[in-house]
A = this chain, B = another copy of it.
């Protein structure tokens, strides 16, 4: 058996879950990745995740009693204190007491947190934000998730909904967002939003070289296709990508000046596929922030990759990093 404390962390996404046994040094000791299938029920997910937890504990030769804690980062709206997933857009679940269900089947008391919040905490403790006091995470993927660590503590807000930065306004009265409201950052710089704008433009008759490659079906488009076509000079795709970049610059600048963090960490699928976007965003923030913010802020790429959420969830469940917080 390895030295030091360990905790179990889960990243429960829309299509896959990662179950990891994580050391208090942030290293993943053992992990499993499972496909969750199409619209699983809460009972099905509980069974799959519990099997996974037992699997990684078995590989480590450990019992549930030997781990320091258990954390779950799940996409959706969370009530942390109650351990309830109040809304999962991926699974169309409402008010699922996931922490209780997992505790019954694994014997481990589970801490439930929003996935990007957990990822932000992981990056703060072990990744691109280690050693800092205040961190902002911006994760543009299908949507745009966010996470805040203030004074070494994950900030969840009064009802657990803090850092829903995809659903704040970039352009008042602008594009319709997937949530049914207008002008949100997610509608301009989230993968689904970029694809929806492309589709609407094609349907309204706009020309684009990308349509040929998609076999004439604008519904098949992905944000990465639009990025590639923009790089090749396609006018429509360049417009859409410029808007996405303008949105991410504005979002980063606004969070920098409003929150004066040490570091803004960018992750998520959009950044993974277009990592060159970080440079222009960082330049924009440095140039357009108040001097007192610009002089110290760092804008960097996330470091923990696809394990960030599972690592952060394990850290939250195991109480890793709490000693750092107390010294702040």
Answer whether residue A30 sits at the interface, using C-beta atoms and an 8 A cutoff.
Answer: no
CA distance A161 to B290 in the complex (A): 8
**Would you call B292 and A258 a contact (CB within 8 A)?**
no
Answer whether residue A93 sits at the interface, using C-beta atoms and an 8 A cutoff.
Answer: no
Chain B min CB distance to A291 (Å)? 8
CA distance A250 to B254 in the complex (A): 13
Answer whether residue A164 sits at the interface, using C-beta atoms and an 8 A cutoff.
Answer: yes
CA distance A107 to B151 in the complex (A): 31
Answer whether residue A9 sits at the interface, using C-beta atoms and an 8 A cutoff.
Answer: no
Answer whether residue A63 sits at the interface, using C-beta atoms and an 8 A cutoff.
Answer: no
**Would you call A172 and B250 a contact (CB within 8 A)?**
yes
Residues of B within 8 A of A150 (CB): 150, 155
**Would you call B253 and A290 a contact (CB within 8 A)?**
no
**Would you call B260 and A293 a contact (CB within 8 A)?**
no
Residues of B within 8 A of A206 (CB): none
- A interface residue count range (under 10 / 10 to 19 / 20 to 34 / 35 or more): 35 or more
Chain B min CB distance to A88 (Å)? 13
CA distance A240 to B262 in the complex (A): 36
Residues of B within 8 A of A113 (CB): none
Residues of B within 8 A of A77 (CB): 290, 292
Given contacts A86-B292, A162-B258, contact A157 B181 (CB under 8 A): no
Given contacts A167-B290, A257-B164, contact A158 B133 (CB under 8 A): yes
Which DSSP category, helix, strand, loop or mixed, fits chain A's interface? Answer: loop
CA distance A127 to B208 in the complex (A): 57
CA distance A167 to B260 in the complex (A): 12
Given contacts A77-B292, A155-B150, A292-B77, contact A257 B167 (CB under 8 A): yes
Residue interface mask A158-175, B partner, CB < 8 A = 1: 111111110111001000
CA distance A67 to B21 in the complex (A): 54
Answer whether residue A179 sits at the interface, using C-beta atoms and an 8 A cutoff.
Answer: yes
Which residues of chain A in 158-205 are interfacial with respect to chain B, using CB atoms and an 8 Å cutoff?
Answer: 158-165, 167-169, 172, 179, 181
**Would you call A254 and B153 a contact (CB within 8 A)?**
no
Answer whether residue A134 sits at the interface, using C-beta atoms and an 8 A cutoff.
Answer: yes
**Would you call A159 and B257 a contact (CB within 8 A)?**
no
**Would you call B260 and A290 a contact (CB within 8 A)?**
no
Query: A159: which of B165, B246, B258, B296 is its contact (CB, 8 Å)?
Result: B296
**Would you call A259 and B290 a contact (CB within 8 A)?**
no
**Would you call B292 and A168 a contact (CB within 8 A)?**
no
Answer whether residue A146 sits at the interface, using C-beta atoms and an 8 A cutoff.
Answer: yes
CA distance A290 to B153 in the complex (A): 23
**Would you call B246 and A292 a contact (CB within 8 A)?**
no
CA distance A155 to B262 in the complex (A): 13
CA distance A290 to B180 in the complex (A): 10
Chain B min CB distance to A152 (Å)? 12
Given contacts A134-B157, A296-B158, contact A168 B260 (CB under 8 A): no
Show 6 A/B contacts (Cβ-Cβ < 8 Å), sorted by A. Answer: A157-B293, A158-B297, A159-B295, A164-B260, A164-B290, A254-B254
Given contacts A150-B150, A157-B259, A161-B260, 4 further A-B contacts (CB under 8 A): A77-B292, A159-B295, A160-B260, A258-B258
